Chain A
Amino acid sequence: MRVLVVDDSKTMRNIVKGVLATVGATAIEEASDGQDALSRVDAFKPDIILLDWNMPVMDGITFVKTYRVKNKTTPIIMVTTEAEKSRVMEAILAGVNNYAVKPFTPESLSKIIETTIAKAAAKKAA
């Protein structure tokens, strides 16, 4: 599984990478903001994207909107402190597949990742 981790905090990227190691990620690419992520997606071709909301240069929601124009299928999990219902709805409408609210535990995030991958696989099979 190829995973793109997008977060401006290196610490948070490391934490997410630590969780990904337990769910069978084979290749992990890191990006520090939405713009950086857009420049990497074509070459890296991720199977899933884990994305922070609040980032400099280009935030997560802008990335989703831009990315979904050309890619409708690659699952995106928003990993963020933005827990208000309105924000969650905005993200879902923009094309986010799942949502992990900080603070999370490694176990809860790994469960969200596994659920998202399973759903994406089922959708693809259908």
Chain B
Amino acid sequence: MAANPEISVRFAADASQATLVASPRLDAALLKLDALLVQVQAAGVLIDNEVARKVSGFAAAYGSGLTEHSEVIARSVPSVPGEDGRVEWQKEFDPRAEQAAANAERTDHYQGRHYLQVKTGDMVGMAHGPTHGTDGRDVRGGVLKALQGKPVPIAFKPTLVLDSTGRIIVQVDGVLVLKDNELSVAQSLNVPGSVDFSTGNIDFPGSVIIAGGVGSGFKITAAGDIHVGGLIEVAELHCGGDVIARGGMAGNGRGTIKKARNVQIVYLDKVAAELSGDLIVEREIADCRLIVGGDVRCPNGTVFGGNVAVTGSIVVKAIGSEAYTPTAITLGDLPLLQGPRLEASKMLQQIKATLARFAEQARLIKLNPRPSAAEKETLTEISYEASQQNQELARWAAKLSEIEATILAQRKLDVHVAKMIHPGVTFHIGEFSVEFKDAAKGPIWICWDEQRQLMYRTGSEAARPLADIARVKRVVQPVRGTGGSAIAAAA
């Protein structure tokens, strides 16, 4: 059937709709549905139920046809774009979340935490990949291709894995970091500024690197090292590794460093510190309470005021001050071992007391020449308990012996003072107390001689008894087999 020129189909430029147009005063036979459908199809419109319904409606609406009649009979089905890939974060691990909001209601702002600590095996979120979307079609039946969603906009570093179900699993302990669309777990915590109310206290299972300082009242606990770029104020540092500070620490009598290995710092002022390794100080150690398991190196600085206990050697420019500041230096002791040593001694005493009690109980039962069955059983119990206690006794005795051996092996007396030991300085060296009433000019070296006499040497001169320049007193009798650790024992 030839197309009727009085009836036409007009298409939108993008084929998003088709309009059927009929001239006025057409013969009704031309407006029959079948004829119209043939014409519409011939024009290129994809016929479906909806189009057929519209064409049917067109014929009815034409009416008397006094004017040109047009009607949209087909519209395209638009494509539905795919969804972009995304990460659905676990609530507690969302690195984008405004932690400040969570912390806003805290009353203790020191406890505010502004980093996300994660542990191996934690699932921090679920990655959902992009979807393809749904294709559409134009009125001619052409495919309108759907836009595919964009991939997850985050790259996962090897410290996390994406399992087959899309779960994001942490592979190492540390801090979750989302930076420049890269998600990783940092094993050292970098604080770009100072530790203050913007960071809160820090408790981290690795090393902590602080670009700035540490404010008053804050506490840093790190399993690894602590690096500090600025001043440490009245803070608490608990450290499984080394403390390395580019500034000093002004502790004001309350600042502490605990459990550290080595400490390297510019100065220490009114600080209490306990370290198992060496202390390296650039300038002075002022009015501090220090326990140092290794050596003290302060070759350009002065130690004055406070109490410093050192297991190893001391290299220092001066000790004490011209103002006769009382300064106590305990030398050649192992303060960090005194706790375990006292514990072992205490246990030995307790076990011996228990054994004595058992012996007395057994003696009383044995006074009866014909003990009852119950008494015999009691004797068996006592015998067994005593046997157990004897094993404990042997264990603790071995432990104490090991501690004593370590103390003997590690203790040394090796003090190098380059410039001056001022009056007011007291050395506690084993069972001796050495008081300096007058200034002793350096370079001076204090040590034991082969007969275990306290000696000193200046420059290349021969060693002389330390008693020549200081008042040497034996404060307690030496403990047999433990040498000079009697002060601690007496304490």
Contacts and interface: CB of A to CB of B under 8 A. Distances in A.
A110 to B, nearest CB: 10
Interface residues of B, number: 12
Interface residues of A, number: 14
Contacts of B379: 102-103
A15 B373 contact: no
A104 B373 contact: no
Contacts, number: 37
Interface in A60-109: 81, 102-107
Nearest to B382: A103
A104 B383 contact: yes
A81 to B, nearest CB: 4
Given A54-B373, A81-B373, A18 B380 contact: no
A105 B380 CA distance: 7
B376 A103 contact: yes
Contacts of A11: 377, 381
Interface in B369-415: 373, 376-384, 387-388
A8 to B, nearest CB: 11
A115 interface: no
B228 to A, nearest CB: 53
A81 B387 contact: no
Contacts of A18: 384, 388
A23 interface: no
Interface in B163-217: none
A107 B388 CA distance: 11
Interface string A5-30: 00001011001001100000000000
A110 B380 CA distance: 13
B388 A12 contact: no
Contacts of B387: 105-107
Contact of A106 (B373, B377, B383): B383
Interface in A38-70: 54
B384 A102 contact: no
A19 B377 CA distance: 15
Contacts of A104: 380, 383
Nearest to A83: B376
Contacts of B384: 15, 18-19, 105-106
Interface of B: 373, 376-384, 387-388
- 10 closest A-B pairs by beta carbon, nearest first, are A103-B379, A81-B373, A81-B376, A103-B380, A15-B384, A102-B376, A106-B387, A102-B380, A105-B383, A103-B376
